[in-house]
Structure 1
Amino acid sequence: MGSRANAAGRTVVLSSFLLGGPSGSGVATTVTIGAVAYPMMKRAGFERNAAGGLLAAGGLGAIISPPVLGAAAFLIAEFLKISYLDVIWMATIPTILYYLSLLFMVELDARRFGAHGEPYVPEMSLWQLTRRYGFHFVSLVSIVIFMVWGYSPTTSVFYATLMTMLMSYLTRETALTPRKLVKALSDGSTSALTAATTCATAGIIVGVVTLTGLGLKFSSIVIDYAGGALLLTALYTALIVWIIGLAVPVTASYIICAVIAAPALIKLGVPDYAAHMFIFYYSVLSEVSPPTALSPFAAAAITGGDPYKTTLHAWKYTLPAFLVPFVFVLDPQGIGLLLKIPANGSVVDIVLITLKAAFGLAFLAAAAQGWALRRATAVERIWLVLAGLLLVFPSLIEAGVEALIGRDIAYTATAGLVIGILVLVKQLMLPAPRGLHAAGRQ
């Protein structure tokens, strides 16, 4: 991809997915990839704040990507009394949609910034790289295999760690010598202590909330303020989870909000698994939200950009994808995004809701970037937003319009697709207003 204009952005997204999934750490993924990728992005023409925002958004994907989900996968499984693999299964489509949204943004960035490709001569082919370094993936895959065989998460990780140590001796450069082994054990212990203290503190809060009955009272308060409306309850819940996430790490935020916020959604008929996944995704949003915003601030330190402008760019990259959790809470068909077959539905419904969400995110990404086939006018951006919302929230919009006009309507998703296509056709056939291209690259 090195000679293509969008190669730098694509590389960041793909490498974030490959590194972030196993690591589960947004900041670590951002820093690791940013140190290597930013010089390439700079040469390709990316503006420094936008580059930092993309790096932070890619790092954020580490927390929502299987198989680790920032350690939340095990917690969700424990809360719902389901298997770890069920959680991974539910997170699959939202993760794909998240990275797909980032790829849409990257494609538009390449046009908006006038990015250009960098000459690239690979030292080794893909097969040679896989043959030489592919064994690093064995430990990651082995965790899933051990859990499929029925081992507990702790036992699976233990055996996978032993396998990692043994596999390291396949090459001289990766061999865990005594000094490297001691360093690895030291770093691992330090990381474990951080996670342990976080979970212990969150456990105290959860215990107090549970024993005092505050969780049930809190959910009743939220429902009362929302007037029993599911949409308002979901909005209030997302806001509460986001605010709590500003003060504590993602894992602790999920633990706390799973006790005090999830019951409000469940009381209104949302499946428990959908409510918990909704809370998890909005716990993650705090990773790119000021004043903490660890990933964007780390990215800004690498790119030399403004931390707050970088944070705003990170929000722009991530927000279209963060509409997805509302789909499986508000739309009866939306649980298809969690690979659950809707009531009276089939696998076809899962495919359809996924395609609708993908097209909707593409239109919303174009609206957020202000660029589709060319720079979009204000009116075109409004139409793109409408098209995206009609595709992402068809049932919600149908219900809202029906309540206003008192008549049944249908095919709002089709209308959204038609509107989006018409905007693209208009851009393809009509020239851009004078000065619009120049303004887009300033």
Structure 2
Amino acid sequence: MNVSVEPTSTATVSDEALRKVEEYIEQEEGAANHLGGWLGIFLATAAVIMSLFHMYAAYAIVPTQTLRPIHVAFVMSLSFLMFPVSKRFRHRIMWWDWIVALLAIAVAVYLIVGGDDFTDRNTSPNPWDVVFGVALILMVLEGMRRTIGWILPFISICFLAYAILGEYLPPPWTHRGYGIDRIVGFMYMTLEGIYGVAVDVSSSLIILFTIFGAFLQQSGAGKFYIDFSFSAMGGKPAGAGRTVVLASFLLGGPSGSGVATTVTLGTVAWPMLAKVGYERNAAGGLLAAGGLGAIISPPVMGAAAFIIAEFLKISYLDVLLMAIIPTSLFYIALFLMVEIDVRKYGMGNVIFQKVDTVWNLTRHYWFHFLSLISIVAFMMWGFSPVLSVFWATVVSFLTSFLRRDTAMISYDLFRGKGSISKHFFQSPLIQALKAGSTGMLGVGTTCAGAGIIVGVVTLTGLGLKFSSIVIDYAGGSLLLTAIYTALVVWVIGLAVPVTASYIICAVIAAPALIKLDVPDFAAHMFIFYYAVLSEVSPPTALSPFAASAITGGDPYKTTMQCWKYTIPAFLVPFIFVLEPSGQGLLLMGSTEALAAANWWSIAAVTVTAAAGIFSLAVGFQGWLLVRATMFERVLFCIAGFVLVYPGGVADLIGFGLVLIALLCHWWRGRTSPPAVV
């Protein structure tokens, strides 16, 4: 009997499920106040001003020494006003919130007014410098606690303690130790600490991409991408799973968050997945895996990608270039998984109905694709990443007027119908400017806090010490060093968000790989991909937990299902770290080197990686044509791991094992009909 599935039907998600989803989102983005009246208007106005200032700074010339402190002041003051000191005081602003918000502004004003004299005395700050510097450090710690939780502030305090108590620590951790005045001078009075690389990227790129994503969302691009995915992938048994995969890729730009992508897509796609045969935990795992892909998908990747460009002193276009093949392999893995799901869950008799034809959707809303690809187009045209996203935002705004239902300012305003208050101040334009600032407060405080950690590492030389320790434990083996580095990144990612995890590990773990002759771009991309795993790693597996709330599944079983979908692709980073030929997956790391690249070598390593992903997908799923035997699963898994290790001998062994496993499976499949589990 055929089952007809309508993807546009109302999502059957209970109020209790939505409440749980809200709790998981708050764990990532903080428990924000919801204020009305004049307080709500005031905060919305401040957020809009913050967005407008940063868009002005993208087009005009604002000195770095001015831009970074103003950015931190905006982030800190809005964080103190929008996030309560505890849930007990939620949905109201207390008198102490106003005081610390004003103090955040005073700290920035004191720095900017001080000018060059202020910066020049960083090695011997005066008492007022110390007072304002200590206040800034404490406010950054409190701002992080309010927006993202207590774990990263605790880690930052440990690093500060390490800087102060260095002379009392045993070797090899010993260092001279630094007083409060020296720490304040470095953290507050230079561009190496709190106002360092992370805040530089946050103030110049991250907030602009957040604003751009808000413009796409408010112009209806998010809804269009979901509808387009339904139409493009409908009509076949695997249509439900394929829709999740494609929509998650397209939604990565507008949402900018793995959790947000999972929730946005999950509320729509879960009823469809349930009707075609997905059980609750598997459906939640697939939704979370799609959300994870949104973080690593060009052209709008996660916040850490911008910091990679700044650390390596390369253009953001180069980072996008390096991400093309690994991201493609990630989605190949997901597509393989959903194709296997068709047989595993017996979806062969399901008819998947389309929302609308692809042609009709594209004919009416084609400009949403123009908004998304315009960033890359501007960068290839020679614009800087900052100007590229600025003009892409302008393109998104202007093209929204091509249709009445997507216009970011109501047509009625231009015709003189209705009040300005209704049609402008409540317009999608104002909502986008507001969301652009409020949506990045958690990332902004994270970047400021990461500046404390990076400052301590720079001041004490901890990065070199840590890399030497890792290499010693690994006995000089690159394979073991890579495994230990991946474990370090994964463990840190258990407790902190992707951006913080990457920044911490980039300064303490990347030097170990670089010491063993791994190119810096390969080392940083390796760390970035494993930092992304923090989105699906307990106890902060927020994407799977949010997905489980939607599907009604078990949070930890959903997490394991998510790992099943994503792990095959996340072994790929070992390929471009362990062997020079594997660096072809990153397209050699730069546009200049790409021109002279050996395309045959790049193609060969890509095919090998795809074969390894296929083998691991079958091994983890335990299914291909029919249910795989344990012997076949073991062969596929071993072959997958061997193919991940680049080299001629490893490739021959890996492909040989795949061939044997496929022959065994095919022979059984001739006589064994597929069964439904």
TM-score relative to the length of structure 1: 0.91
Aligned pair partner of 2:616 in 364, 369, 389: 364
Equivalent residues of 2:615, 2:640 under 8 A apart: yes
Provide the rounded CA distance (Å) in 1 between the counterparts of 2:524 and 2:507: 10
Provide the rounded CA distance (Å) in 2 between the counterparts of 1:117 and 1:303: 23
Query: One-letter code of the match for 2:243?
Result: T
Query: One-letter code of the match for 1:262?
Result: A
Alignment gaps of 5+ in structure 2: 1-232, 410-423
Provide the rounded CA distance (Å) in 1 between the counterparts of 2:372 and 2:235: 32
Q: By how many angstroms is 1:322 displaced?
A: 0.8
Equivalent residues of 2:510, 2:523 under 8 A apart: yes
Provide the rounded CA distance (Å) in 2 between the counterparts of 1:78 and 1:60: 23
Deviations 1:141-184 (A, max 9, x none): 22222222333322222222222122111111111132122222
Aligned pair partner of 1:421 in 659, 674, 677: 659
Q: 1:4 to 1:124 in 2, by over 3 A?
A: closer
Partner of 1:192: 440
Partner of 1:376: 628
- 3-state SS of paired residue (1:363): helix
- 3-state SS of paired residue (1:69): coil
Aligned pair partner of 1:216 in 448, 464, 471: 464
Equivalent residues of 2:575, 2:646 under 8 A apart: no
Aligned pair partner of 2:645 in 393, 398, 401: 393
Aligned pair partner of 2:475 in 227, 241, 265: 227
Deviations 1:211-232 (A, max 9, x none): 1111111111111111111111
Aligned pair partner of 2:565 in 284, 303, 317: 317
Aligned pair partner of 2:291 in 45, 48, 59: 59
Provide the rounded CA distance (Å) in 2 between the counterparts of 1:108 and 1:12: 15
- 3-state SS of paired residue (2:391): helix
Q: 1:128 aligned to 2:360? A: yes
Partner of 1:139: 371
Equivalent residues of 2:581, 2:646 under 8 A apart: no
Q: By how many angstroms is 1:136 displaced?
A: 1.3
Deviations 1:189-214 (A, max 9, x none): 10132221111111111111111111
Q: By how many angstroms is 1:187 displaced?
A: 1.2
Query: One-letter code of the match for 1:361?
Result: I
Q: Which moved more, 1:362-371 or 1:9-18?
A: 9-18
Mapping for residues 109-258 of structure 1, pairs under 5 Å = 109-116=341-348, 118-122=350-354, 124-177=356-409, 178=424, 179=426, 180-258=428-506
- 3-state SS of paired residue (2:366): helix
- 3-state SS of paired residue (2:351): coil
- 3-state SS of paired residue (1:385): helix
* RMSD after superposition: 2.1
Aligned pair partner of 1:19 in 226, 251, 255: 251
Q: By how many angstroms is 1:422 displaced?
A: 2.5
Equivalent residues of 1:214, 1:260 under 8 A apart: yes
Provide the rounded CA distance (Å) in 1 between the counterparts of 2:668 and 2:545: 41
Deviations 1:273-309 (A, max 9, x none): 0000000000001100000001101110111111110
Q: 1:11 to 1:123 in 2, by over 3 A?
A: closer
- 3-state SS of paired residue (1:119): strand
Query: One-letter code of the match for 1:416?
Result: G
Equivalent residues of 2:234, 2:354 under 8 A apart: no
Query: One-letter code of the match for 2:656?
Result: V
Provide the rounded CA distance (Å) in 2 between the counterparts of 1:193 and 1:61: 22
Q: 1:153 to 1:345 in 2, by over 3 A?
A: closer
Q: 1:431 to 1:71 in 2, by over 3 A?
A: closer
Partner of 2:537: 289
Mapping for residues 340-359 of structure 1, pairs under 5 Å = 340=588, 346-359=598-611
Provide the rounded CA distance (Å) in 1 between the counterparts of 2:539 and 2:376: 36
- 3-state SS of paired residue (1:319): helix
Q: By how many angstroms is 1:118 displaced?
A: 4.2
Equivalent residues of 2:292, 2:532 under 8 A apart: yes
Query: One-letter code of the match for 1:430?
Result: R
Partner of 1:50: 282
Larger Rg over CA atoms = 2
Equivalent residues of 1:2, 1:118 under 8 A apart: no
Aligned pair partner of 1:339 in 572, 583, 587: 587
Q: By how many angstroms is 1:388 displaced?
A: 1.7
Partner of 2:20: none
Provide the rounded CA distance (Å) in 1 between the counterparts of 2:380 and 2:671: 58
Aligned residue pairs: how many? 424
- 3-state SS of paired residue (2:406): coil
Q: Which moved more, 1:5-14 or 1:346-355?
A: 5-14
Q: Which moved more, 1:111-120 or 1:31-40?
A: 111-120
Query: One-letter code of the match for 1:156?
Result: S
Deviations 1:349-406 (A, max 9, x none): 10000001101110110000011221111111111112222322142xxxxxxxxxxx
Equivalent residues of 1:44, 1:117 under 8 A apart: no
Query: One-letter code of the match for 1:216?
Result: L
Aligned pair partner of 1:274 in 518, 522, 528: 522
Q: 1:172 to 1:107 in 2, by over 3 A?
A: same
Query: One-letter code of the match for 1:19?
Result: L
TM-score relative to the length of structure 2: 0.60
Provide the rounded CA distance (Å) in 2 between the counterparts of 1:391 and 1:98: 16
Aligned pair partner of 1:87 in 319, 328, 335: 319
Partner of 1:402: none
Q: By how many angstroms is 1:116 displaced?
A: 4.0
Equivalent residues of 2:632, 2:664 under 8 A apart: no
Q: By how many angstroms is 1:42 displaced?
A: 0.6
Provide the rounded CA distance (Å) in 1 between the counterparts of 2:306 and 2:543: 23
Provide the rounded CA distance (Å) in 1 between the counterparts of 2:490 and 2:355: 45
Q: By how many angstroms is 1:345 displaced?
A: 7.4
- 3-state SS of paired residue (1:66): coil
Provide the rounded CA distance (Å) in 2 between the counterparts of 1:138 and 1:3: 27
